[in-house]
């Protein structure tokens, strides 16, 4: 076995252990994971693998690639937690292989191994490799595009540029236009800094554009053919433009948000940034920055600055920056290899403990997942029965209960909550039902958030409702049909 294959095997085995341990026992959580799993489930059952759908409605939140991953996993392993977390874990492994291979090419084997070890044990990377979300897939494709660009730029092998366009197309198919726009912006800034505009003529622009359009454009064209401007207005208008210009979570629109994410997400390695700053301040000189280090810094900084300028902040947005950061950390710790090995090993053990001591019980808690709540009525509910949710609507109720759940609200409030295509209400595609519409001739199962218990007592004749089970966060009632 060659040295490179041996390294990849060791990285792969350790990463599979780290990213897959306990996944079968971690419940699907709300609000993000359940949206993805329910959408993939509905696509699988409908046989329509082009148009994402949720609650029976077409759903334009994300492109189809991640849903295809889930569908493939469900076909192999069935619809369950392990299958849902399969591809995030696999792409977590691919991300480490990419980091090792890229760092080895631009530096050396030792840097590649250390960078993969640092990245794999960064808290954010480990967590998202076990989370049902698009970001690990984006990490591989987004960073694959930039790695391929730099290999094409820094060597005589210009065919690397073809791979750059392919990865950008796949990133666009996974997350949207950002899969092209942000890597393209990073490349543009880097070339401008270097003033190396002649390189543009070597970048295979025309065949690259063809590769990109074929890779990403086929799905987008199909969606436009099927859904017209409704797809364009919702996908680009709401789920892309609105996110950039209007904060979905205004309290987190602060200047220090991604600085906080860096220190939390890079645990236990985040101390290297202040340590490096202190070191160079004491030396009273800046480190020598060659073309490779300049590109890595450009890559990491622009990702963070770009998303800091966006109105909507998400903890996962700056994940792609971890690859260049891990390589830079590996260079800083290059002469402390034994320390890196010990720290990575201890961190892996800690993550294993956290999986079963924290992640499994926390995700099973009714505040994060409705798995236990749905189990109360799943085997009781009949085809004609109605299930409603009053208070905190959880998509995982539908996923685990395998039954449509209606959001119960007062009639006068429903119109202002419905999607209007101009605000975040566009995400409220679940079915609504008013108090006045509740039928008397059907058994009704009510999932009540405990914070709304006082409203429940005011709005309902509680004597008609039988309590089936009570949890810390919610209660489940049934009202039987009147004969």
What digits encode the pLDDT tens for the residues 386-442?
A: 999 998 899 999 999 999 999 999 888 888 888 776 666 667 789 999 988 999 999
Co-location of 222 and 324 in the same domain: yes
pLDDT of residue 424: 62
Co-location of 385 and 324 in the same domain: no
Listed residue (168, 148, 171) closest to 102, CA to CA: 148
Structure tokens at 255: 């200047």
Say how many domains are in the chain.
Answer: 2
d(C-alpha 241, C-alpha 243), whole Å: 5
Q: Which tens digit of pLDDT belongs to each residue from 52-103?
A: 999 999 988 899 999 999 999 999 999 999 999 999 999 999 999 999 999 9
Compute the 3-state secondary structure of the chain and give helix, strand, coil in percent, each to the nearest 5. 65, 5, 30
Q: What's the distance, CA 160 to chain centroid?
A: 27
Listed residue (148, 145, 154, 117) closest to 292, CA to CA: 154
- Of 362, 388, 423, which residue constitutes the final position of a domain? 362
pLDDT of residue 118: 98
Listed residue (15, 119, 82, 109) closest to 334, CA to CA: 109
- What residues form DSSP beta bridges with 339? none
d(C-alpha 244, C-alpha 238), whole Å: 9
d(C-alpha 359, C-alpha 346), whole Å: 18
Co-location of 86 and 231 in the same domain: yes
pLDDT of residue 248: 65
The edge-to-edge listing of strands for the beta sheet with 466-470 is 432-434, 405-409, 386-390, 444-449, 474-479, 466-470
Co-location of 237 and 165 in the same domain: yes
Query: DSSP alpha helices (H): ranges in 78-228?
Result: 81-84, 86-106, 109-120, 123-128, 135-154, 160-175, 178-194, 205-212, 218-227
pLDDT of residue 286: 67
- Mean pLDDT of the chain, nearest integer: 92
Structure tokens at 332: 């800083």
Check residues 172 and 286 and name the one with the higher pLDDT: 172
Co-location of 356 and 429 in the same domain: no
Place 179 in a pLDDT band, splitting at 50, 70 and 90: very high
pLDDT of residue 280: 79
Q: Which tens digit of pLDDT belongs to each residue from 314-371?
A: 899 999 999 999 999 999 999 999 999 999 999 999 999 999 999 999 999 998 999 9
Place 252 in a pLDDT band, splitting at 50, 70 and 90: confident
Co-location of 356 and 283 in the same domain: yes
Co-location of 423 and 305 in the same domain: no
Flag whether pLDDT at 123 surpasses 70: yes
- Of 345, 362, 379, which residue constitutes the final position of a domain? 362
Place 457 in a pLDDT band, splitting at 50, 70 and 90: confident
Co-location of 317 and 402 in the same domain: no
Q: What is the DSSP letter of 318?
A: T
- What residues form DSSP beta bridges with 474? 449
Co-location of 162 and 245 in the same domain: yes
Instruction: Look at 36-50, 292-306, 347-361, 429-443 and tell me which has the smallest mean pLDDT.
Output: 429-443
pLDDT of residue 249: 67
- Reported in sequence order, the residue ranges of 346-443 that DSSP labels E, i.e. its strands, are 386-390, 405-409, 432-434
Flag whether pLDDT at 384 surpasses 90: yes
What region, left, alpha or beta, does residue 228 occupy, with left being phi > 0 and alpha being psi -120 to 50 degrees?
A: left
- Of 343, 362, 381, which residue constitutes the final position of a domain? 362
Strand bridging mode 444-449 / 386-390: parallel
Residues near 482 by beta carbon (within 8 Å), at least 6 away in sequence: 440, 441
Q: Which tens digit of pLDDT belongs to each residue from 89-105?
A: 999 999 999 999 999 99
pLDDT of residue 204: 95
pLDDT of residue 345: 97
pLDDT of residue 460: 82
Q: Cα-Cα-Cα-Cα dihedral of 225, 230, 235, 240, to 10°? A: 130
Co-location of 332 and 385 in the same domain: no
Q: What are phi and psi of 310, to 5 degrees?
A: -75, 145
Q: What is the DSSP letter of 481?
A: P
The answer to whether the beta carbons of residues 114 and 330 sit under 8 Å apart is yes
Co-location of 156 and 33 in the same domain: yes
Find the domain containing 397 and state its range: 371-479
Structure tokens at 324: 């260049």
Co-location of 47 and 184 in the same domain: yes
């Amino acid at each position: 076995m060659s040295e490179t294959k041996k390294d990849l095997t060791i990285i792969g085995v350790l990463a599979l252990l780290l990213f897959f341990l306990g996944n079968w026992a971690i419940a699907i959580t709300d609000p993000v994971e359940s949206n993805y799993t329910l959408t993939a489930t509905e696509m699988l059952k409908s046989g329509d693998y082009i148009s994402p759908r949720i609650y029976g409605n077409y759903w334009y939140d994300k492109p189809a690639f991640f849903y295809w991953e889930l569908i493939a996993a469900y076909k192999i392993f069935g619809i369950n937690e392990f299958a849902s977390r399969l591809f995030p874990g696999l792409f977590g492994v691919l991300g480490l292989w990419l980091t090792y291979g890229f760092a080895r090419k631009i530096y050396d084997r030792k840097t590649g191994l250390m960078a993969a070890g640092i990245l794999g044990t960064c808290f954010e990377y480990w967590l998202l490799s076990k989370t049902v979300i698009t970001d690990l897939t984006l990490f591989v494709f987004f960073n694959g595009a930039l790695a391929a660009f730099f290999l094409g730029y820094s060597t005589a092998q210009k065919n690397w540029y073809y791979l750059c366009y392919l990865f950008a197309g796949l990133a666009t198919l996974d997350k949207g236009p950002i899969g092209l726009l942000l890597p393209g912006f990073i490349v543009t800034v880097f070339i401008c800094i270097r003033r190396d505009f002649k390189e543009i003529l070597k970048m295979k622009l025309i065949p690259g554009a063809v590769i990109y359009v074929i890779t990403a454009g086929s799905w987008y064209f199909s969606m436009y053919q099927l859904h017209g401007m409704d797809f364009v207005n919702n996908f680009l208008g709401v789920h892309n433009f609105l996110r950039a210009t209007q904060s979905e979570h205004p309290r987190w629109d602060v200047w220090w948000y991604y600085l906080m994410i860096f220190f939390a997400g890079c645990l236990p390695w985040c101390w290297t940034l202040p340590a490096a700053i202190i070191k160079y301040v004491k030396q009273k000189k800046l480190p020598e920055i060659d073309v490779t280090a300049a590109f890595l810094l450009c890559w990491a900084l622009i990702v963070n600055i770009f998303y800091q300028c966006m109105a909507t902040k998400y903890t996962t947005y700056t994940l792609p920056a971890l690859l260049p950061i891990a390589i830079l950390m590996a260079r800083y710790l290059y002469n402390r290899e034994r320390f890196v090995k010990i720290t990575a090993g201890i961190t892996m053990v800690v993550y294993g403990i956290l999986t079963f001591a924290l992640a499994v019980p926390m995700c099973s808690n009714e505040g994060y997942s409705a798995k236990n709540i749905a189990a109360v009525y799943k085997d009781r509910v009949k085809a004609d029965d109605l299930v409603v949710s009053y208070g905190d609507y959880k998509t995982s109720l539908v996923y685990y209960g395998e039954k449509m759940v209606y959001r119960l609200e007062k009639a006068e409030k429903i119109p202002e909550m419905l999607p209007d295509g101009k605000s975040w209400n566009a995400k409220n595609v679940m079915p609504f039902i008013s108090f006045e519409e509740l039928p008397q001739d059907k058994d009704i199962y009510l999932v009540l958030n405990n914070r709304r218990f006082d409203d429940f007592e005011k709005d309902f004749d509680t004597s008609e409702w039988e309590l089936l089970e009570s949890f810390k966060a919610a209660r489940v009632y049934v009202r039987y049909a009147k004969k």
